[in-house]
Chain A
Amino acid sequence: MIDIKKTYKNYVDGKYVRSESGKTYTKELKNEFYELPLTSRKDVRDTVTSSKSGFNKWNGLTPYTRMQILYRLSEMIEGNKESYIELLVSHGISKQKANKDIELAIENIIWFAGLADKWEQLAGNLNPVSEEYFNISHQNPIGVVFSLSSSTVSLNDLLLSLLPPLTVGCSVISYSEESSVLALKFAEDINNSDFPPGSLNILTGNFENILDDVSKHVEINLVALHREIENNGLKRIQENASSSVKRVVSLPSISGLSSILPYLETKTVWHPKGT
C-alpha cells in the first residue's frame, strides 16, 4: 500500500494555509521527517485580521452555543483518540502516558464547556455601595489573545492554554513550537467542531521570529506565555506591549476559575435602585 504523507499547514480563518513566505522547518519524529510551516510576520498580520473578526463571531454566540461547540470538540478528540496516542508515542512518550494525556484533555474540555455559561456569575459581582445604586462588576472577554503554548508535547497542556480564553469568548491565536505536529493535527478537530472561522487559529514556527511583531501588534489584546522566554525576551515583550497597553501574562494559572481571570476585563455599571 502506498504510504500517503500528510501536509501539515497552519490553520487560519477556518482554512489550512501554507506560510505566505513559503518557508517550512523540519521536525524529526521516530525517523520520520515532518515539514511544518514557519510562520512569518505577514502570516501573523493576516491571522490577527482573522482573529479580530473571529472574536466578534465567537463572542457573539450565546454561552450555551459556545458550550455545545466545546463539547463537540471533546467528542471529536474522543473519536480520534487512537491517532492522537499514536502521534504522542512517536514523540517518545509511553503509550500509557499518552492515553492518560488524551483522557485528561477530554475531561478538561468538558469542564470548561460546563463553565462557559457559568463563569460570569462566578467572576462578576454586585458590589456593596452605601447609596441607592446597584454597583455591578460586569465581566467582558478581553478580545484577541495570542497564546504561546508550553514546550511540553501534550494535548492536555495545549488545550489548557486555549480553553480558558475560549470559554469566556476570546478568540485565540495558538502558537506552537515543540508540540507543533500535535497542534496542527488538533486543528483538524477544531475544523470539525463548528468553531466560527477565526475564533481559534493555529500557527507553528519559531516564536523568536515573530516576537516583536506579536508584542507590538495593536490589535492583539493579550499575550499569554505558557513557557519561559529566554534571553530577556519577556522584558522585550513587555516593553513592546506597553505602547498599545497590551496585557502580558507569563505562565498563567491553567486550573480552576483562576485560569479565566486574566482574559477578563471588568466594566463597572452603576444603576439606580427603583424606589
Chain B
Amino acid sequence: MGNIKISDVSMQWSNVLEMVYESRIDSVGLNERVNSLATRSIKKDSKLEALNMIVTMCDLTTLEGEDTEGKISQMVAKAIKPNPLDTSVPSVAAVCVYPSLVTIAKEKVQNSNVKVAAVSSYFPSGQVPMESKLLDTKYAIDSGADEIDIVINRKAFLEGDYRKVYDEIVALKEVCQDVHLKTILEVGDLKTYENIRKASLISLAAGSDFIKTSTGKLSIGSSRQACYVMLKSVLDFESLTGVKAGIKVAGGIRDAKDAIRYLVMINEEMGSDWLNPELFRFGASSLLDDVLKQIKKLKTGAYQAGYYFPRG
C-alpha cells in the first residue's frame, strides 16, 4: 500500500474501487457504435476545418534513441510552421520528447505558443523503482517541460494491484503540481475493454489531466474502440466529480481520414467542448505529414507527394 494521504486527492480510494469493480462493457454494442460513427461523410469545407483542427491538436513526437539536438530543432521548426509555404496552417499544440532533450526543445520553441511535453517515469516500460520515476519526472519539470506524459505501472495493474497503480500516479501528480499530467494506459498491454476502463478510472481519480492510449512503442497502438472506452470513462468521471479531463490518442494513427473519425467520435459522444487542444490531442509523427498533404489537396485539387513538405 502506498503512503499517500488520500485527503489530498480528488476521490476517495473506496469510491474509485467501487467504480473499477463495476466496469462492464458490452463489446458488441461498442464495436457497432464505433463503426457506425466511422461512416459519417465529411464535406469539403468541414474537412478543411477538421484538418486544421487536427494540426492544432497534434503533439509532434520523436522518442528515439537517435534523437539529437539537430533533429529536435528540425522538428520544432516544423511544429511552429508545419507548412512554411502556407501560413494559414496553424502551429501544432506541443512537441513531445525525452526528458534529456527538454532544455533544447524549450529553447527552440521560444516566441511561439508550442508547448514542450516530456515523457517520463521511464517511458515506455515504466519498469523501475518509484524513486527513479519521481526523479525522472522532476528532472523533466526542472528542465522546463510544460506537460508530462507518464506510463501507468502495467506490472502492478496486470497483477491486480490497482492501489499501487493509483498511488504512483498520485505521487507523480504531486511532483507535477500545475504541470499538465498525461497518463498513458498503453491499451495494447491491457488487452480488454474492461481493463482499459479500469485503468482510465484509476488514472483519472488519481488526478491525471489527460489519459492517453499508447506509448506508440507497441505494434498495437490506439484504436477508436479503446478511445471510446476512455471517453466514456472521462464522461462518467465528469458526472461524478465535475472535473473535465482530456484524452490523447497516440500510436498507429497515420492518416487524416482516421484522425477525422476520432474527431467525429469525440464530437458525437462528448460534445464540441472536447474539440479543443486543451482536452483532446493526437500523438503523432507521420499523421501531421498526411494532414498537410490533405490540406493542400483540398486547396489545389491535386493529390500531393510527401517530399514537398518539411521533414521533422
Contact = CB atoms under 8 A, between A and B. Distances in A.
Interface in A200-224: 212-213, 216-219
Interface string B157-194: 00000000000000000000000000000000000000
A85 interface: no
B304 interface: yes
Contacts of B303: 44-45, 48, 213, 216-219
Contacts of A94: none
B304 to A, nearest CB: 5
A7 interface: no
Interface string A81-100: 00000000000000000000
B28 interface: no
Contact of B305 (A44, A213, A218, A243): A218
A243 B306 CA distance: 16
A255 interface: no
Contacts, number: 26
Contacts of B302: 216-218, 240, 243-244
A44 B297 CA distance: 14
Contacts of B306: 219
A13 B301 CA distance: 25
Contact of A219 (B300, B301, B304): B304
A41 to B, nearest CB: 9
Count class of interface residues, chain A: 10 to 19
A213 B302 CA distance: 7
A48 B306 CA distance: 12
A212 B301 CA distance: 9
Nearest to B306: A219
Interface in B283-312: 300-306, 308
B9 to A, nearest CB: 48
Nearest to A218: B305
A13 to B, nearest CB: 16
Contacts of A216: 300-303
A212 B297 CA distance: 13
B291 to A, nearest CB: 16
A98 B116 CA distance: 68
Contacts of A48: 303
Interface in A214-264: 216-219, 240, 243-244
A216 B306 CA distance: 15
A218 B306 CA distance: 9
A45 B256 CA distance: 14
A219 B300 CA distance: 14
A69 B215 CA distance: 41
A48 B301 CA distance: 16
Nearest to A240: B302
A132 to B, nearest CB: 35
A18 to B, nearest CB: 18
Interface in A4-59: 44-45, 48, 52
A218 B308 contact: yes
Q: Which of A45, A48, A216 is most buried by chain B, counting CB atoms within 10 A of its CB? A: A216
Nearest to B293: A218
A239 to B, nearest CB: 12
User: Among A212, A217, A218, which residue has the most Cβ atoms of chain B within 10 A?
Assistant: A218
Interface in B197-242: none
Contacts of B304: 218-219
Nearest to A244: B302
A243 B300 CA distance: 10
Nearest to A214: B303
- Chain A CB within 10 Å — which of B301, B302, B306, B308 has the most? B302
A34 B5 CA distance: 75
B309 to A, nearest CB: 11
Nearest to B303: A217
A212 B305 CA distance: 16
A244 B307 CA distance: 12
Contacts of A52: 305
Contacts of B308: 218
A244 B302 CA distance: 9
Given A212-B301, A219-B304, 14 more contacts: A44-B303, A45-B303, A48-B303, A52-B305, A216-B301, A216-B303, A217-B302, A217-B303, A218-B302, A218-B303, A218-B304, A218-B305, A218-B308, A243-B302
State the 6 A-B residue pairs at the shortest beta-carbon distance, nearest first. Answer: A216-B302, A219-B305, A218-B305, A217-B303, A218-B304, A45-B303
24 contacts: A45-B303, A52-B305, A212-B301, A213-B303, A216-B300, A216-B301, A216-B302, A216-B303, A217-B302, A217-B303, A218-B302, A218-B303, A218-B304, A218-B305, A218-B308, A219-B303, A219-B304, A219-B305, A219-B306, A240-B302, A243-B300, A243-B302, A244-B302, A244-B305
